[in-house]
Amino acid sequence: MSIRNIVLFVVISLLTFNSCKEKEKNTTDLAEYKTPLNLPPNILFILCDDLGYADVGFNGSTDITTPNLDQLAQDGTIFTAAYVAHPFCGPSRAALLTGRYPHTIGSQFNLPANGASTGKGITAQEQFISVPMQEAGYYTGAIGKWHLGETTAYHPNNRGFDDFYGFLAGGHKYFPEEYRQQYKRQKEAGAKIINDYVLPLEHNGTTLQENEYLTDAFSREASRFIREAKNKNKPFFLYLAYNAPHVPLEAKKEDLDKFKHIEDKDRRTYAAMVYAIDRGVGSIVKNLKKTGQFENTLIIFLSDNGGHTGHGANNFPLTGRKGDTWEGGYRVPMFFHWPNKIPKGQKFDFPVSSLDFYPTLNYLAGATIPENKILDGKNIWKAFTSNQNPHDKETLFAMRHREGYTDVAARQNDWKAVKVHQEPWKLYNITNDISEKTDLSTEQPAILEKLVTETENWSKTHTEPLWFDPLYLEQMWNDSTMATFNQTFKISQD
């Protein structure tokens, strides 16, 4: 090779090397602005109200058909040990959106109904899950039931949600022609306090007249929000909080007709209400596909707590119901669906908590959580995708204050300690005994003592309730030893 050619070869090689290094540098720079999965996912978070553990096909229902939910679950991953942080509505939602146990932020009780909660709400010191996403460029929406504060300071639009459509209180009737008439009668009678369940719906603070069955209206608005996100060319986070199948039990005739085989009236109506949710989710999925957003949308589905077996729900094979610290109170049906990003047709059997959503979803969104933000959950994504226990040797708690005493539970790995209705502590191998039938407290006293001690230590992180529901519990709290947990953490019975 001539000297001229050698020089030319060296020059070209150096240029090529520098070009590759520059491309590598640019790629690294760009990666810093992308999420860990390289593209910000849309997140559709579907929350039902009082849905029973066995009231969807993918979790074992034999009398309620939920084909759309079942398809999503089949094409995604079902979580068999999903827990919420409290066994009833308001505190469970507070935990989900703040990432904190409600007991640590003063929201141990539901906000009182029918005007009694005016001026109260989840403390503004706790940043909601939506705020980091909003700051990261997400279009954020909340549709349906709120139950976290009704005044301006606590309104969804001031808690990180660009768009809100629904109602602010803890429940609502379903048929507009019924609740509008009741609202009108109460107004004309000069009622100072209007029943929450008949108040007009609102959109971003402006009341409006809704004409559709409530579940259908919320499904419609979810599709509207998704189209808006597409037009804005933004990823979205949508918190779709159906109030179904919470009471009052009210269903459309065409849905009821599908469940004529169910003899019990409450169960039949409840089934039709669940089916309406399924219909709605089906229409939303069609809309996601039509707008080209389906493939990059993580769909999460679960309930805010266990089903109320006195109002048509079925929590089989779990013991207990909404409000209990038995499994039936706070272990819920749940699945994740995200094409080509999460395992398909799998079950994840390790325990997870609704407290994990805050860090996990903001991680996926590439959002920055403030360093001073306290979180009681953790980012479970790596453990989930590698089928490992995200809470190995960690304890998940549940606590519900009743009239003069406290129910409580703690789960760590295979073991669960539980105390209910002022009965002695019990211990179960919850992995093998999901129905909590065989008490092993006498066989494994050291395990029970360890879990009870951990629970007592956790209770010392709690704060005084900011409100009470029912209201008379405040006097009971102040006059008794409820605030110091009575003898809740005493194991021996002598």
Q: Which residues are catalytic?
A: 89, 147
What is the distance between the alpha carbons of residues 168 and 155, in angstroms, rounded to a whole number? 8
Q: What SS3 state is found at 372? A: coil
Q: Which of 165, 142, 95, 337 is nearest to 239 (CA)?
A: 142
Q: Rounded CA gap, 105 and 457, in Å?
A: 16
User: What proportions of the chain, in percent to the nearest 5, are helix, strand and coil?
Assistant: 35, 15, 45
Helices 67-74, 265-290: crossing angle, 10 deg rounding: 60
Q: Which residues of 298-329 are buried (b: 16+ CB within 10 A; e: fewer)?
A: bbbbbbbbbbbbebbbbbbebbbbbbbbbbbb
**In 3-state terms, what secondary structure has residue 250?**
coil
Q: At what angle do helices 214-232 and 265-290 cross, to 10 degrees?
A: 20
Q: How far apart are CA 315 and CA 9, in angstroms?
A: 74
Kindly state the tokens that stand for 169.
């209180």
Residue 2: Cβ-neighbour burial (10 angstroms; 0-12, 13-18, 19+): exposed
